[in-house]
Every structure is written in C-alpha cells, then in structure tokens.
Amino acid sequence: MKIALDAAKGLAFLHGAERSIIYRDFKTSNILLDGDFNAKLSDFGLAKDGPMGDQTHVSTRVMGTYGYAAPEYVMTGHLTARSDVYGFGVVLLELLLGRRALDKGRPSREHNLVEWARPLLNHNKKVLRILDPRMEGQYSVKTAKKVTNLAYQCLSQNPKGRPLMSQVVELLEGVQSKDEDEMFQTNEKGVTLYEDSGLSSCTPETRNPDTGNGRRKPANGRSNSEPSTECDLYNPCSDFAVSSPVRS
C-alpha cells in the first residue's frame, strides 16, 4: 500500500500541474524503489501534455503497453488523465492479486488479468479468494475490500466513472493511516492484524513468477517501453512493437 500510495501521488502531481501532464505508460516496471521502498515514477518518454481550455481530450496515436492501456484510448486515440487512472487500477490489481497484467502461462481465460478479475472485485466473498495467498491473510479484511473496490472503480469501462488521482491518493492515505492505528492497537495485545505485504514492482525480467512480487528492486534506468517513433502498443514481454491493434 505504501508503494501504491507513492505512485498515486506521482500521478496526482502530474495531473494537477498548471498544464496537466498525462503519463500514458503507467505500469509496474516504470515504478522504481529505493532502499526504503519509496516509489518514484520513471521513463517519461510517452508523457503528453493534457488538454487545454475547452478541450476534453488529446488525440494521439495509440501508444503504451498491452494490458495497461485504457480501452477507450485504444479504440479512439482520445487521451485523458482518466487513461492514467485505468493504468493505475491495473497495477493496483497486480499488487492485490500477485499476478501479472498479462500472463499466458495461466489458463486461457486468465491470460488478461483485468478481464478475468474485474467482474469478481465487487463480490466480497469471491474477491477474498483471489487475493495473493502469499500475503497469508496478514491484512484487514475491511481494508482489502476498500482497496479492491478502488481498483474496480479505476478499471471502469466508462472513463467518467473512474476517480481522479487526487481522490485515489486521499483514499489510500486514509487506508494506510487506519491500518497503522490497527497495527499499534493489536500489537499491544501481542497479535498482529496487519503487516506490510512487501509487494514491490519489478520488470518482467526481474520478477520471479513463482515467488510473485518479492522485495527486489527493479532494474535501474529507463524501461523498454519508449519507442523511437510513434507506433502501436508494446507487448511488455518483448522489446518489439506489435503491429496489430489491441482489441478491448
């Protein structure tokens, strides 16, 4: 949750600038961690100035990474700050479930994490069964439901149904401060209710699919997502551009 909050603050800062900036390629491998697991955004090669005046969106060629790009942007090329919110929802889902956005090593219906998991996020019993088992239940169920509901909203097919990043930050700050209070109160009784899950963001190359998100730092430097020229979406498992369009 600390990593999610730090990353959310980064996006909120960009969106709240005098001339808003749309990050456009928010994903786990673009979040760097220092020795204290403070998260910072990296690789602004695809960043775009947001709309001005009466404009509602910026029209661009579709660029980004498979599995993280908002469906309306993929279909129309209309870019807004809510496109970043969708990408944040994907990363939040990866943190909660301990799975990659795209994983062809899983059964076919589970290849795309959002398509498989989003319908389950608003079912309390079902969502608790799909949370990352490596967290071993070391979290507040109430908090888990709040955060999964946030992911559900961020991944809305309707961009207007997604929260602003400033609202995301506010909710995550409230969740984190509440959990810290619960930790303090329960530790006085000798029982740990909630502990930091230690989930971190790693590139596909550094992340171990058998052990999940782990506590390893991602490789330093820029990611491979920035193209030399504008082109179609990138496959996160490959350094090559994919010429066929993404279907929502």
Q: Enumerate the domain spans of the chain.
A: 2-187
pTM tops 0.75, yes or no: no
Contact 2, 37 (CB under 8 A): yes
Strand partners of residue 234? 65, 241
Q: What is the pLDDT of residue 56?
A: 62
CA–CA separation, 159 and 196 (whole Å): 31
Q: Which of 25, 84, 179, 232 is catalytic?
A: 25
Q: Block means of pLDDT (10 residues each) for the chain, length 248 residues?
A: 96 92 93 95 86 71 87 90 96 96 93 94 89 92 93 95 96 83 49 36 41 46 43 46 39
Q: What is the pLDDT of residue 216?
A: 46
Is 179 annotated as catalytic?
A: no
CA 216 to chain centre: 18
In sequence order, the β-bridge partners of residue 39 are 33
pLDDT at site 245: 42
CATH topology of domain 2-187: Transferase(Phosphotransferase); domain 1 (1.10.510)
